[in-house]
C-alpha cells in the first residue's frame, strides 16, 4: 500500500527524524515496531501554503508522546 504525506524533519541527537502522523499510520495499517520502507523526495516549501504557520519543533515536541 502506498500512502503519501508531507512531514517536516527535526534533529534528535545527531540524526534527522520524521514522525508518521496518526491518521496516515492508521490508513496504512502501520503499528509500532514494524519495518517500513521510506522513500525520500524533497519538496518545495511553498505548495499553496500547506505548511504556512508551521513553526520550528520545540523541546516539548521531542518529549511529547504521540497516540
Q: Torsion angle, CA of 38/43/47/53, rounded to 10 degrees? A: 80
Q: Is 11 helix (H, G, I), strand (E, B) or coil?
A: strand
Query: Does the pLDDT at position 58 exceed 90?
Result: no
Q: What is the pTM of this model?
A: 0.58
> Helix H segments across the chain?
22-28, 59-63
25 φ, ψ (degrees, to nearest 5):
-60, -40
Q: Region 6-30: what's the mean pLDDT? A: 91
Per the CB < 8 A criterion, the answer to whether 66 and 19 are in contact is yes
Query: Does the pLDDT at position 57 exceed 70?
Result: no
- Mind listing the domains of the chain with CATH numbers? 1-44+53-67 (2.10.260)
Distance CA 21, CA 10 (A): 14
Q: Region 8-34: what's the mean pLDDT? A: 92
Amino acid at each position: 500500500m502506498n500512502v503519501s504525506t508531507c512531514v517536516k524533519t527535526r534533529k534528535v541527537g545527531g540524526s534527522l527524524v520524521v514522525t508518521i502522523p496518526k491518521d496516515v499510520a492508521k490508513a496504512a495499517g502501520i503499528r509500532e515496531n514494524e519495518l517500513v520502507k521510506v522513500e525520500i523526495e524533497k519538496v518545495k516549501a511553498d505548495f499553496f501554503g500547506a505548511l504556512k504557520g508551521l513553526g520550528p519543533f520545540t523541546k516539548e515536541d521531542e518529549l511529547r508522546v504521540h497516540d
